[in-house]
Structure 1
Amino acid sequence: MTDHSCSRPITLHVNGLKYAGHAEPRVNLADFLRSDLKLTGTHVGCEHGVCGACTVLVDGYSARSCLMLAVQAQGSEIRTVEGLATDGVLDILQACFHKHHALQCGFCTAGILMSATELLAANSEPDESIVRDVLSGHICRCTGYQNIVAAILDAASQLRERASDAGNN
């Protein structure tokens, strides 16, 4: 139970839903998402912003939620890995990760998915070097990154195809 004597009121929009509550000024966004909102897909690894496991989107941009205080996110639109699937159906990027076996233990995967989501929203035609540059902000100890790169490039191709089909209708 949170002692509200030191906490601050906070309102966040997370994965399309509005959350109002209280957060202690020292609580980071990752811990708030995991503990208070029970959104445990965001992982905390190094707690120094190096590993990228805690990456979420804040107002459309990737952010290390272990380095951001929850109160700093006041009024922001937050998107976590739980917000990628719709009605239990994986989005294209998640489906491509599955198709290409782009994860092993899965600890880093949520953060990588969020950074890749930001990339694909900004760049519909990334090449391998751009994808690898984005991935340089993430540490995955289980893979050689090749399947992750293939999954992101496949997702980009499918998203372009979907956009083309929508434009032709």
Structure 2
Amino acid sequence: MRTDVKLYRLNQRLLAELLHAAVTDADPLEVMPPVTGPSGWAPKRRAAFVQFHEARSLSADPLETTFAITVAEQVAGAARLCPLDGQPGTAEAGVWIGRAHRGAGVGTAVLELLLNRASAQGFTTVYVSTTPDNTAVRSLLSARGVVLVPDGDALTAHIKLITDPPVA
């Protein structure tokens, strides 16, 4: 596994670097909810990107934990864990990686790091969802033995995390 891939908990400094990585290496629809207005990374969309992460991850009562993905200490994307309502012990995982770092083993490393973080945060299950046309994610999960099942327009899975037995 790649050793130059790391996850750092998002903070204001990393958020600025994350925005730069998104603007230079990703389509807005790959990294954030849709925003009305001109396509591309217009100022309104850049501001919405920052506001989205501030509200969800950097607020006094965050909804999720977001990590900046770094490759050789350069921000290359984001990963997140969001507790699922009504499913105690389960977090939804989300990841985006800039185009320049796709297909080079970064996703495999990020998945392992994210699952380790989920376990460290006390989660026992990680929920993943992707689209049928996302062959990269489908291959990554398949290689790990994760079976995706159809769920409406998506493919989903619940990954059970290995937890250490209680010490007696």
TM-score, normalising length: structure 2: 0.34
Give the structure with the higher percent helix.
1
What TM-score results when the alignment is normalised by the length of structure 1? Answer: 0.34
